[in-house]
């Protein structure tokens, strides 16, 4: 348990919650119920063995923090994950209700073990040619075990499928992808992986996958509406890693026939955009002028859009224009 003030709020609450959920207990020395719930929270923190971090804020001494969270009565507990408040409760709840509250949001022990295994796998893959990462099979095995331990964790499953595709393990990728593709509706990012995998499998199994680009261009030059050839060319471009060029080819089909082949070009286009979209950066308090918890900070910094994000935005606009 840590006592938090404005001085250490960013480090102990916002930054810490990027890695471990943080439960903030707003209390005061004169508050009788606060004295009841305080020891219960500390006991639960010890029992949960690192699944969350407990901090305490004296609402009388730290009125700016209390106001930022809209505290109207105490005790009030607020849970932060990823720099943002996600839930909370007021009053001195009994131990069982507090645990039920936490269990709704905290990763289970199995999931924590899975995340640790996934972190090891990512480190091995990031090392390139060093040590175990010289053969990515061991890292991918770790990642697969992590998914087995936490089958409902979409982030782990997505990363496993992505890495399998990147390393040419298409059969393993398809197997890991199957549970996500069985959902209704299929989550967009998994459909995106499926489009990527389909393109790579096409190149490996269809004779057109070995054609030079000039042959595609010759046939398309003879018939601008040869959508089969255009679509095949887009898949070859995807396999080559030339995704913007693939988007342009898909766009040519969409502009001429939005419904062709059950909208396969549009679905592939949207899937590529999803895969090209850079991950959202962690909140930069200085850039926004506030902390993620809503505390005013001195100074603001101009935010520049990532070039990759700009490219994705450009192609989203092109698709919108083609569809309207």
Token pair for 21: 């959920």
Please tell me what DSSP assigns to residue 29.
Answer: T
Token pair for 7: 């001085």
Full strand arrangement of the beta sheet holding 76-81: 2-3, 53-58, 22-27, 76-81, 84-90
Is 164 an annotated catalytic residue? Answer: no
- CA-to-CA distance for 78 and 22, rounded, in angstroms? 8
Q: Which residue has the tokens 């990642």?
A: 143
Specify the pairing of strand 76-81 against strand 84-90.
Answer: antiparallel
- CA-to-CA distance for 291 and 83, rounded, in angstroms? 8
Task: Please pick, among 13, 16, 23, 34, the residue that the annotation labels catalytic.
Answer: 34
Is 77 an annotated catalytic residue? Answer: no
The dihedral over CA atoms of 309, 313, 316, 322, expressed in degrees to the nearest 10, equals -140
Task: Please pick, among 14, 31, 180, 232, the residue that the annotation labels catalytic.
Answer: 31
**Element at 55 (helix H, strand E):** strand 53-58
Q: Which residue has the tokens 């909208």?
A: 263
Mind telling me the catalytic residues?
A: 31, 34
């Amino acid at each position: 348990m840590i006592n938090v003030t404005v001085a250490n709020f960013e480090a102990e609450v916002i930054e810490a919650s990027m890695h471990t959920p943080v439960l903030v207990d707003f209390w005061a020395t004169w508050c009788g119920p606060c004295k009841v719930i305080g020891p219960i929270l500390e006991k639960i923190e010890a029992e949960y063995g690192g699944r969350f971090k407990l901090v305490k804020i004296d609402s009388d001494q730290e009125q700016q923090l209390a106001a930022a969270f809209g505290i109207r009565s105490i005790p009030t507990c607020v849970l932060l994950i990823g720099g943002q408040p996600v839930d909370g409760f007021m009053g001195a709840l009994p131990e069982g209700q507090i645990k039920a509250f936490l269990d709704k949001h905290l990763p289970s022990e199995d999931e924590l073990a899975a995340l640790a295994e996934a972190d090891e796998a990512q480190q091995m893959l990031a090392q390139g040619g060093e040590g175990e990462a010289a053969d990515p099979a061991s890292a991918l095995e770790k990642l697969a075990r992590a998914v087995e331990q936490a089958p409902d964790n979409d982030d782990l499953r997505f990363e496993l499928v992505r890495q399998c595709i990147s390393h040419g393990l298409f059969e393993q990728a398809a197997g890991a992808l199957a549970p996500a593709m069985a959902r209704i509706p299929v989550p967009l990012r998994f459909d995106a992986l499926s489009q990527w995998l389909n393109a790579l499998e096409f190149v490996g199994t269809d004779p057109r996958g070995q054609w030079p680009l000039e042959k595609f261009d010759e046939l398309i030059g003879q018939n601008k509406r040869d959508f089969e050839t255009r679509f095949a060319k887009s898949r070859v471009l995807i396999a080559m890693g030339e995704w913007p060029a693939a988007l342009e080819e898909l766009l040519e089909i969409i502009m001429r026939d939005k419904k062709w082949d059950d909208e396969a070009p549009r679905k592939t286009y949207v899937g590529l955009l999803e895969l090209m979209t850079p991950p959202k950066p962690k909140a930069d308090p200085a850039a926004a002028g506030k902390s993620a918890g809503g505390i005013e900070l001195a100074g603001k910094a101009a935010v520049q859009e990532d070039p990759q994000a700009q490219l994705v935005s450009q192609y989203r606009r092109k698709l919108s224009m083609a569809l309207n």
